[in-house]
Structure 1
Amino acid sequence: MNQATTLLFASLFCTSAFAEKALTVVSYGGSLAEAQVESAHKPYTKATGIKVISEDYSGGIAPIKTQVDSQKVTWDVVDAELLNVYRACSTGLLERIDPKTLAPAPDGTPAEKDFIPGALSECGVASYVWSTVVAYNTNAFPGEKPTSLKDFFDVQRFPGKRALRKAPQVNLEWALMADGVPRDQVYTTLETEEGLERAFRKLDTIKDQVVWWEAGAQPPQLLADGQVSLASAYSGRIVIASRKENQPFKIVWDGQVYDMEAWVMPAGNPNKAQAFDFLKFATQSSVLADQSNYIPYGPTRYSAQKLVSPEVQADLPTSPENFATALQVDSEWWGDHADELNERFNAWLAK
Structure 2
Amino acid sequence: MKLTKTLMATSALTVAAGVALAGAHMSSDMVLVSWGGAYQSSQDRAYVQPYLAMNEGVTATWDESSAEAVAKLRAMNEAGNVTWDVVDVVAADAIRLCDEGLAMEIDVDEMLAAAPDGTPASEDFGDLLVSECYIPQIVYSTTFGYRTDLVGDTPPTTVCAVFDTETYPGKRALEKRPINNMEWALYCDGVAKADIYDVLETTEGQERALAKLDTIKDDVIWWSAGADTPQLLADGEIVMGSTYNGRLFSVIEEQKQPVAMLWDMQVFDLDGWIIPTGLSEERLARALDFVKFATDTQRLADQAKYISYGPARLSSAPLVGKHADLGIEMAQHMPTDPKNAANTLLYNYEFWADYRDDIDAKFQAWLAQ
Say whether the fold is shared (TM-score over 0.5).
yes
Matches within 5 A, 1:162-181: 162-181=172-191
- The answer for the alignment partner of 2:242 in structure 1 is 232
- The answer for the alignment partner of 2:48 in structure 1 is 41
Matches within 5 A, 1:22-171: 22-28=28-34, 29-47=36-54, 51-59=58-66, 60-61=69-70, 64=73, 75-101=84-110, 102-115=112-125, 117-171=127-181
Moved more, 107-116 or 291-300: 107-116
The answer to whether the aligner puts 1:338 opposite 2:356 as a matched pair is yes
1:329 equivalent among 343, 347, 361? 347
Gapped regions of structure 2 (runs ≥ 5): 1-19, 323-328
**1:8-36: per-residue Cα shift (whole Å, max 9, x none)?**
xxxxxx98845986351412355444322
Task: State the alpha-carbon separation in 2 of the partners of residues 30 and 211 from structure 1.
Answer: 20
Residue 24 to residue 212, structure 1, CA distance change in 2 (3 Å): closer
Residue 334 to residue 248, structure 1, CA distance change in 2 (3 Å): same
Q: In angstroms, what is the RMSD of aligned CA positions? A: 3.3
Residue 326 to residue 303, structure 1, CA distance change in 2 (3 Å): farther
The answer to whether the aligner puts 1:284 opposite 2:296 as a matched pair is yes
Deviation at 1:252, TM superposition (A): 0.9
Deviation at 1:164, TM superposition (A): 2.1
Residue 201 to residue 17, structure 1, CA distance change in 2 (3 Å): closer
**1:69-116: per-residue Cα shift (whole Å, max 9, x none)?**
677666443323434422332233332112233333344443333326
2:311 equivalent among 299, 309, 316? 299
Preserved contact between residue 127 and residue 260 of structure 1 (Cα < 8 Å): yes
Residue 345 to residue 180, structure 1, CA distance change in 2 (3 Å): same
Deviation at 1:205, TM superposition (A): 4.2
- The answer for the alignment partner of 2:334 in structure 1 is 316
- Secondary structure (helix, strand or coil) at the match of 1:86 reads helix
Task: State the alpha-carbon separation in 1 of the partners of residues 225 and 239 from structure 2.
Answer: 18
Moved more, 70-79 or 275-284: 70-79
Task: State the alpha-carbon separation in 2 of the partners of residues 348 and 19 from structure 1.
Answer: 51
Letter in 1 for 2:51: Y
- Secondary structure (helix, strand or coil) at the match of 2:94 reads helix
Task: State the alpha-carbon separation in 2 of the partners of residues 173 and 225 from structure 1.
Answer: 28
**TM-score, normalised via structure 1 length:** 0.80
Preserved contact between residue 28 and residue 57 of structure 2 (Cα < 8 Å): yes
Deviation at 1:339, TM superposition (A): 3.8
**TM-score, normalised via structure 2 length:** 0.77
Preserved contact between residue 18 and residue 50 of structure 1 (Cα < 8 Å): no
Task: State the alpha-carbon separation in 2 of the partners of residues 199 and 70 from structure 1.
Answer: 38
May I ask how many residue pairs the two structures share in their alignment? 338
Gapped regions of structure 1 (runs ≥ 5): 1-13
- The answer for the alignment partner of 2:325 in structure 1 is none
The answer to whether the aligner puts 1:270 opposite 2:281 as a matched pair is yes
Deviation at 1:179, TM superposition (A): 3.5
Preserved contact between residue 31 and residue 60 of structure 2 (Cα < 8 Å): yes
Letter in 2 for 1:270: E
Task: State the alpha-carbon separation in 2 of the partners of residues 44 and 110 from structure 1.
Answer: 22
Matches within 5 A, 1:14-29: 17-18=23-24, 22-28=28-34, 29=36
Moved more, 79-88 or 286-295: 79-88
Deviation at 1:134, TM superposition (A): 1.4
Percent identity between matched residues is: 42
Deviation at 1:147, TM superposition (A): 1.7
Task: State the alpha-carbon separation in 2 of the partners of residues 50 and 328 from structure 1.
Answer: 42
Task: State the alpha-carbon separation in 2 of the partners of residues 66 and 152 from structure 1.
Answer: 37
Letter in 2 for 1:231: G
- The answer for the alignment partner of 1:10 in structure 2 is none
Task: State the alpha-carbon separation in 2 of the partners of residues 181 and 290 from structure 1.
Answer: 39
